[in-house]
Chain A
Amino acid sequence: MKKYISQQNLNTLLDNLIAEGRRVVAPRMSAGIPLYEPLTSSTEMVTGLLPRRSAKEAFFPVCEELMSYEKEGQQVKLTDVDPARFPETVLVGVRPCDAVAIPVLDAVFSWDYKDEFFLERRRKTTIIGLACTTADDACFCTAVGLSPTETRGSDLFLTPLVGGGYAFESCSAKGEQLITNHKELFTGQTKAKTLPLAAPQTEKIDVKKVKGWLDEHFEDPLWDGVAVRCVGCGACAFVCPACHCFDIVDEGTEKAGKRRKSWDACGFWKFTHHASGHNPRDLQPKRYRNRIMHKFKYYNDKFGQTLCTGCGRCVRICPVGIDIKAIIDTIMNSEC
């Protein structure tokens, strides 16, 4: 017997949460594409499509205000953004490759500096993951040791069943709490089978071996070979659930304005452009090398984790067909 929640009960849950004033974020169609966005009704949720951007933006928005300033005469008034005002949120319909990236990001946002903007949203958010029933040939979660039923990162996990509805599984205290608060919706039991789940077929990645190679090959002809054609956009980093670089700028006039934080990307030439005019990563292959190094070596050196969940978004989106999986396969199969 599986614990069961019908589609109708799930919708009721979401609508009740919205009615209670919670922010409910889920994949929905937004000007033609699926994105994780706040719902106004459960009927807006779409589950069959991978959102174009990952779920990281529920914690790390594309752009957010950090503070504002105002100048009056000789006085400058600074107003901080108060993270206590971030809303209680339920993030639902999250793909396993997106959900699993959130605890990976916890490491960097609570390391030498505790990023309250990320961490406060994290504290206030309950994540409801959803097993995948479809994959394409860009998906490679199984190659990095994950799977379409990976529950890490989710507080509650749903698996779609034949005949509709979901098997549910609580994965954390937050998940338990959500069930307790809405227990009348979580009483079902069923013998229904799970729908056929996605099964991405790709060569396994031996993360240790890849890191071992990267440790020795900061300089290597591979970088030119794979990335000379990189056009230096931010697409791969921006759609990635694990990329987390950001920029901070002050925007406004001399009288008043705001300090804002927004996504940045190591593919941009300006990313390491020094004020002196010097750029240590002057050409695209050096920038792309950083992308691979950060994901499979540096983050591993620092936090013992890999910064890629195999979601395949960068593979699908790269304008010039740069395929991170193909590159890692090449590294895996190289002799030295």
Chain B
Amino acid sequence: MNNQPIDTSIYSTISEAIQTEAARVLSAGEVTAIVGYAAGRRKGSAQPIIITDHDDAKKLIFTPACVNNLAVYLTKAKKEIPKTGKVGIVAKGCDLKALVGLMGESQLKHEDLYLIGIPCVGVLASTVQPATELTTETIASKCCECDAHLPTGCDFVPDVALPPPPQLEGKYPAEIARLEALAPAERWAYWKEQFAKCIKCYACRQVCPFCFCEQCLCDRNRPQMVETTPRPAGNTAWHIVRAMHLAGRCAGCAECERVCPMDIPLNLLNRKMAKELKELFDYEAGFEVNDRGPLTTYTEKDDQSFIK
């Protein structure tokens, strides 16, 4: 398909609505802080910001560069962010799924949050400069298969008419099909090459809302559980641990893949796991709080065909 511009004209109305609402709830003392996005130094860039003063509400924006899933700041792993009182958070649909997932895992309670949901047509891919226009080619892959453009269950959603989201083909289903069709040795060769690039910077873990463990197993050295050095053995172990520990929890925000400085297609593993979860347990991340995750509960209907 040709490169087509995507209509993001609602984003300026959304920005204004966020500013007004943030100023209102901060002034009224309904929240102690708001986690949102503000402009950065580089042209078109956006970055997370935490504001506590209603005067700062004017800094809040929403643009195609607002890629971050801010849910990570509300987890217990982010000790820097005081969790006193009710905190407001700006959340796109995919981010909201993560917040809902954290509620299901008893990490967050909706009554402690003020959810500002964003009607979203998409954000930029990590491969383009922040000032790039949003088009069918510059859009993030996750947005191509998004089913969460309009969040529900939030405390506030800017009143805008969401244009029909562009119908796009995501790269993941085709890529998963391609890998599934490979012989195991070829598939292994593919992942080996990808994992070889990993430098264990753990950006993927640090941005993941579900990686809130106080001490990641992969960091342990007394005793060492997996090799911590960035070498084939430890890298592979790390990626298996990551994929398995997020199966049935990953909300699909694809932050891990976005931030990987080595462009390792981490979300492919997540999507593959999501596909398995759907097939085996009819489970999908969504907007409904579910405190019985597919891999933490047992039912007699569970697939047992693997027991031989």
Contact = CB atoms under 8 A, between A and B. Distances in A.
Contacts of A237: 201
A237 B224 CA distance: 24
Interface in B180-208: 193-194, 196-197, 199-203, 205-207
Given A52-B261, A52-B262, A320 B47 contact: yes
Contact of A320 (B48, B200, B205, B263): B48
Contacts of A31: 193-194, 196-197, 263
Contacts, number: 120
A319 B228 contact: no
A321 B47 contact: yes
B183 to A, nearest CB: 19
A84 interface: no
B259 A235 contact: yes
Nearest to A283: B80
Nearest to A138: B42
Contact of A137 (B42, B228, B229, B231): B42
Interface in A211-251: 224, 228-229, 231-235, 237-239, 247, 249, 251
Contact of A319 (B46, B68, B263): B68
A234 B202 contact: yes
A238 B81 CA distance: 25
Given A317-B261, A323-B41, A283 B227 contact: no
Contacts of A231: 72, 78, 203, 206-207
Contacts of B205: 233
Contacts of B80: 224, 228, 283-285
A62 B199 contact: yes
Contacts of A62: 199, 230
Interface in B216-234: 219, 221, 224, 227-231, 234
Given A138-B42, A233-B202, A33 B230 contact: no
Contacts of B292: none
Contacts of A329: 41
A33 B262 contact: yes
Query: From DSSP, what is the main secondary structure of chain B's interface residues?
Result: loop
A28 interface: no
Interface string B33-55: 00000001111011111100000
Contacts of B308: none
A282 to B, nearest CB: 8
Given A31-B196, A251-B227, A321 B219 contact: no
A326 B203 CA distance: 21
Which of B42, B50, B194 is the most central at the interface, judged by chain A CB atoms within 10 Å of its CB? B42
B200 A283 contact: no
A137 B201 contact: no
Contacts of B262: 33, 52
Given A31-B193, A31-B197, A235 B261 contact: yes
Contacts of A232: 206
A81 interface: no
Contacts of A317: 203, 259, 261
A32 B296 CA distance: 37
A136 interface: yes
Nearest to A224: B80
Contacts of B230: 62-63, 262-263
Contact of A229 (B48, B219, B263): B48
Contact of A233 (B48, B50, B79, B206): B206
Contacts of A53: 199, 261
A43 interface: no
Interface string A137-149: 1100000000000
Nearest to A32: B263
B289 to A, nearest CB: 25
Contacts of A52: 261-263
B258 interface: yes
A325 interface: yes
A138 B131 CA distance: 12
List 8 A-B pairs, minimum CB-CB distance, nearest first. A321-B47, A234-B201, A319-B259, A233-B203, A326-B41, A231-B206, A233-B206, A235-B203
6 contacts: A233-B203, A233-B259, A260-B229, A283-B80, A325-B41, A326-B41
Given A138-B42, A235-B201, 17 more contacts: A52-B263, A137-B42, A137-B129, A232-B206, A233-B206, A234-B200, A235-B203, A260-B229, A262-B200, A262-B230, A319-B206, A319-B255, A321-B46, A321-B47, A322-B47, A325-B41, A326-B40
